[in-house]
């Protein structure tokens, strides 16, 4: 799935939407002390009160929120795994019997509890629904409306949410005219910040892909590897942060003792952006070993060759066929995505403007120098330019 596919289904999660039908909702309450199922309950989604439906819809939208490779990850299922989750999910997707579907979802919950101790009580919510996407009209003269023909996508969505203790509050009783301590023992289910979840199957170019699942992490660049490998039985992944780190290590390995200045780093970012722009992959262009060699050669790094790049791939990641996602490697090109942090100040700048920044030595001190086209304004006061270099006085005769 790309970000457009995710956005298309995410925006459908709203009450009274004829393009989204949720058949059943199944909630499972897990106790932290015993890691056992304390209670589970299912019902048709339409039987929930309108306020409850709104709460859950917002929760499901949050599961599908975030950037790919940061909070959302399209995972490929492992092969030849006993009690494979892909098969369980596929059977659940095809099932028209609620009790049968519940049994399959409980199998997934049992896998969540195996060798796992949660720090708080957890509620796992499953929904079984159908998402319909209208086919675009071929022409304005077409007699059919957009919704006469649709792509149909049955799906299962899972959301895991932690519980929290109720707030201790002081209330005023209008009838008895007295202050009372509000005693509530029921835990609150935090639907505003899902701790994990997934959507099955993956949907790409209006086609369902049962070989992939979209996994949602609770925090950016912090996927739950136990959940990915043991619960979903999916293959290993690289986060955007890890992807960037591996690329940086490969560049350092190829460059050797060569030192980088801002111009060289800016050239690297420019070359990545150019290669990405020329790529046939519109949404998530990838960079292979050959692309990396081309990028480093075109950036002014000396003595770059195929052998050095191959050796760097073997040393750093032990996989010469590995491909980086360009969007992970270079910060957002047109926004101030590069953070320059010093003890004196923090500066944000875009990759394309990095070439206007220099680190220089003057009178034994280091200075960060930035080229600007206009006078700097600080707290409403316009600064006048200062001369760094002055003409030496002439010798007196």
**Nearest residue to 196 (alpha-carbon basis) of 128, 130, 124:** 124
How many Å apart are CA 128 and CA 191, to the nearest integer?
18
How many Å apart are CA 312 and CA 332, to the nearest integer?
25
- Residue 247, preceding bond cis, omega within 30 degrees? no
How many Å apart are CA 191 and CA 63, to the nearest integer?
10
Q: How far apart are the first and last CA of the chain?
A: 80
**pTM summary value:** 0.82
pLDDT score for 90: 96
pLDDT score for 46: 94
User: CA Rg, the chain, in Å?
Assistant: 28
Please answer whether residues 268 and 295 qualify as being in contact, where contact means their C-beta atoms are separated by less than 8 angstroms: yes
Biggest alpha carbon distance in the chain? Answer: 106
How many Å apart are CA 6 and CA 237, to the nearest integer?
19
How many Å apart are CA 321 and CA 314, to the nearest integer?
10
The three-class DSSP label of residue 171 is strand
How many Å apart are CA 192 and CA 394, to the nearest integer?
72
Spell out a b/e string for 329-342, using b for 16 or more CB atoms within 10 Å of the CB, else e. bbbebeeeebeeee
Angle between helices 240-255 and 306-316 (to 10 degrees): 130
**Nearest residue to 1 (alpha-carbon basis) of 242, 217, 209, 240:** 209
Per-residue pLDDT of the chain (397 residues; tens, 9 = 90+): 888 899 999 999 999 898 999 999 999 999 988 888 999 999 999 999 999 999 999 999 999 999 999 999 999 999 888 889 999 999 999 998 999 999 999 999 999 998 888 888 999 999 999 998 887 654 444 444 555 678 889 999 999 999 887 777 777 788 888 877 776 667 788 899 999 999 999 998 888 999 999 999 999 999 999 999 999 999 989 899 999 999 999 999 998 888 778 888 888 888 888 877 777 666 678 888 998 998 888 888 888 899 999 999 999 999 888 988 888 887 777 788 888 888 888 888 888 888 888 888 888 888 888 888 888 888 888 888 777 655 545 544 4
**Nearest residue to 85 (alpha-carbon basis) of 234, 226, 217:** 234
CA 67, 5, 74, 215 dihedral sign is positive
Residues 6+ apart with CB under 8 A from 43: 24, 25
How many Å apart are CA 115 and CA 108, to the nearest integer?
13
Helix (H) or strand (E) holding 75: strand 72-76
How many Å apart are CA 334 and CA 327, to the nearest integer?
12
Beta-carbon neighbour count of residue 76 at 10 Å? 15
Token duo for residue 44: 């048709």
Token duo for residue 164: 């929290």
CA 68, 69, 71, 75 dihedral sign is positive
CA 35, 41, 44, 49 dihedral sign is negative
**Phi and psi, residue 113, nearest 5°:** -90, -15
pLDDT score for 352: 82
Please answer whether residues 310 and 288 qualify as being in contact, where contact means their C-beta atoms are separated by less than 8 angstroms: no
Please answer whether residues 98 and 162 qualify as being in contact, where contact means their C-beta atoms are separated by less than 8 angstroms: no
pLDDT score for 341: 86
Beta-carbon neighbour count of residue 58 at 10 Å? 13
pLDDT score for 127: 96
Residues 6+ apart with CB under 8 A from 11: none
pLDDT score for 263: 83
How many residues appear in the chain?
A: 397
């Amino acid at each position: 799935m790309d970000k457009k596919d995710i956005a298309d289904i995410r925006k459908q999660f709203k009450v009274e939407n004829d393009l989204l039908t949720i058949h059943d909702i199944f909630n499972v309450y897990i106790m932290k002390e015993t890691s056992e199922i304390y209670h589970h309950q299912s019902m048709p989604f339409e039987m929930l009160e309108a306020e409850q439906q709104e709460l859950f819809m917002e929760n499901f939208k949050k599961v599908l929120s975030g950037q790919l490779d940061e909070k959302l990850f399209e995972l490929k299922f492992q092969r030849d795994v006993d009690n494979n989750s892909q098969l369980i999910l596929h059977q659940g997707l095809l099932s028209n019997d609620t009790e049968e579907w519940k049994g399959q979802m409980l199998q997934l919950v049992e896998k969540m509890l195996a060798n796992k101790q949660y720090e708080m009580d957890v509620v796992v919510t499953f929904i079984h629904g159908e998402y319909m996407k209208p086919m675009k009209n071929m022409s304005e003269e077409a007699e059919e409306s957009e919704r006469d023909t649709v792509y149909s996508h049955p799906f299962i969505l899972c959301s895991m949410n932690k519980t929290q203790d109720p707030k201790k509050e002081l209330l005023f009783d209008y009838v008895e005219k007295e202050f009372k301590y509000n005693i509530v023992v029921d835990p609150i289910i935090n639907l505003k910040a899902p701790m994990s979840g997934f959507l099955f199957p993956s949907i790409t170019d209006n086609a369902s892909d049962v070989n992939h699942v979209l996994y949602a992490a609770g925090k950016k660049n912090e996927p739950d590897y136990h959940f990915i490998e043991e619960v979903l039985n999916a293959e290993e992944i690289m986060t955007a942060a890890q992807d960037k780190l591996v690329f940086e290590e490969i560049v350092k390995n190829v460059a050797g003792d060569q030192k980088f200045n801002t111009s060289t780093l800016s050239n690297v970012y420019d070359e990545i952006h150019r290669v990405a722009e020329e790529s046939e992959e519109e949404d998530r262009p990838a960079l292979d070993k050959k692309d990396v060699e081309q990028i480093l050669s075109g950036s002014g790094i000396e003595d770059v060759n195929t052998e050095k790049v191959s050796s760097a791939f073997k040393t750093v990641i032990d996989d010469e066929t590995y491909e980086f996602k360009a969007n992970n490697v270079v910060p957002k090109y047109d926004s101030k995505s590069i953070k320059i942090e010093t003890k004196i100040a923090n500066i944000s700048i875009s990759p394309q403007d990095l070439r206007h920044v220099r680190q220089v030595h003057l009178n034994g001190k280091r200075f960060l120098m930035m080229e600007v086209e206009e006078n700097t304004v600080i707290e409403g006061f316009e600064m006048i330019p200062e001369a760094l270099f002055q003409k030496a006085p002439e010798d007196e005769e």
